[in-house]
Chain A
Amino acid sequence: MPQAFDYQKQNLPPIKSLRHAPREEMYLPGHRTCAGCGPALNYRLVAKAAGKDTIFIGPTGCMYVANASYLCTPYAVSWIHAQITNGGAVGSGIEAAYKILARKKKYDGPFPNIIVMAGDGGSVDIGLQAMSALMYRGHDVLFICYDNESYANTGIQTSPTTPYGANTTFTPPGKMIPEGKTLFPKDPPQLVIGGHPLVKYVATTCISYPVDLMNKVRKALNYDGPSFLHMLSPCPKGWKFDEKLSLEMGRLAVDTGMWTLYEWENGVYKYSRLPKKYKPVGDYMKFQGRFSHLKAEHIAKMQAFVDEKIQRIKAIAVEAPIPTPKKKAR
Chain B
Amino acid sequence: MAKELMLSGCAAAAQGAKFAEVEVICSYPIRPYTAIMMELSRMVANGELDAEFVHGEGEHAQVSVVLGASAAGARAYTGSSGVGVTYAFEVYSPAAGGRYPLQMAIADRTLDPPGDFGSEHTDAMSARDQGWLMGWASTPQEVFDNTLINYRVGEDQQVMLPQFVCQDGYFLSHIPDKVVLPDIAQVREFLPPYSAPHPLSTTCPVSHGPQIKPDQGAVMDAQRASTFLIVPEVIEKAVADYNRIFKRNIPPFIEKYKMDDAEVAFFIMGAHANTCKKAIDQMRAQGLKAGMVRPRWVRPWPTKQIAEAFQNVKAIASVETSTSYGGAMRGGNLVHELRATLYDLEKRPLVTSFMAGLGGDVILFEDFHFMAKILNQMVKEKKTSKHVYWIGFEED
Q: Which residues of A contact B (CB under 8 A)?
A: 1-2, 52-55, 57, 64-65, 68-73, 75-83, 85-86, 88-94, 96-101, 103-104, 106-107, 109-110, 112, 129-130, 132-133, 136-137
A80 touches B208 (CB 8 A): yes
Q: CB-CB < 8 A to A100: which residues of B?
A: 23-24, 50-52, 74
Those 9 A-B pairs whose CB atoms lie nearest each other, nearest first: A93-B68, A81-B209, A89-B64, A68-B210, A97-B74, A133-B57, A97-B72, A86-B64, A96-B52
Residues on A with C-beta less than 8 A from B57 are 89, 129-130, 132-133, 136
Dominant secondary structure of chain B at its interface with chain A: mixed
Q: A19 CB to closest chain B CB, in angstroms?
A: 26
Cβ contact within 8 Å between A83 and B211 = no
Chain A residues near B359 (CB, 8 Å)?
Answer: none
Given A70-B212, A97-B23; 17 other pairs, CB 8 A cutoff: A78-B206, A79-B205, A80-B71, A82-B64, A89-B64, A90-B65, A92-B54, A92-B68, A93-B24, A93-B67, A93-B69, A93-B72, A96-B54, A96-B74, A101-B74, A137-B54, A137-B55
B26 within 8 A of A: yes
Looking at B60, B64, B66, B206, which has the most chain A CB atoms within 10 Å of its CB?
Answer: B64
Which B residues form the contact surface with A (CB < 8 A)?
A: 23-24, 26, 44, 50-58, 60-61, 64-74, 76, 90-91, 94, 200-203, 205-214, 216
A55-B202, A97-B68 given as contacts; is B54 within 8 A of A71 (CB)?
no
Q: Which of B53, B61, B211 is within 8 Å of A1, CB to CB?
A: B53
Given known pairs A65-B211, A97-B52, A101-B73, the reply for A78 and B68 (CB within 8 Å) is no
Q: Which residues of A contact B24 (CB under 8 A)?
A: 93, 96-97, 100
User: Are B212 and A90 closer than 8 Å at their CB atoms?
Assistant: no
Bound CA span A36–B76, Å: 41
Are the C-beta atoms of B65 and A96 separated by less than 8 Å?
A: yes
Contact between B207 and A78, CB atoms less than 8 A apart: yes
A75 touching B200, Cβ below 8 Å: no
Measured between alpha carbons, how far is A99 from B23 in the docked complex, in Å? 10
In angstroms, Cα B55 to Cα A1, docked, is 10
List 27 A-B pairs, Cβ < 8 Å.
A55-B202, A64-B211, A70-B213, A72-B207, A73-B210, A78-B206, A78-B207, A79-B206, A81-B210, A83-B90, A88-B61, A90-B64, A91-B68, A92-B54, A92-B61, A93-B71, A94-B200, A96-B52, A100-B52, A100-B74, A101-B23, A101-B74, A106-B73, A112-B202, A132-B57, A137-B54, A137-B55
A69 to B211, alpha carbons, bound, how many Å? 5
A27 to B178: give the CA distance in the assembly, Å: 56
CB proximity of A204 to chain B, nearest CB, Å: 25
| Chain B residues, CB < 8 A from A73 | 207, 210
CB <8 Å contact, B94 and A75: no
Asked if A79 and B207 make an inter-chain contact with CB atoms under 8 angstroms apart, the answer reads yes
Q: Indicate whether A93 sits within 8 Å of B54 (C-beta atoms), given known contacts A70-B212, A85-B60, A86-B60.
A: yes
B67 touches A71 (CB 8 A): no
- Expressed in whole angstroms, the Cα–Cα distance for A73 and B207 within the complex equals 7
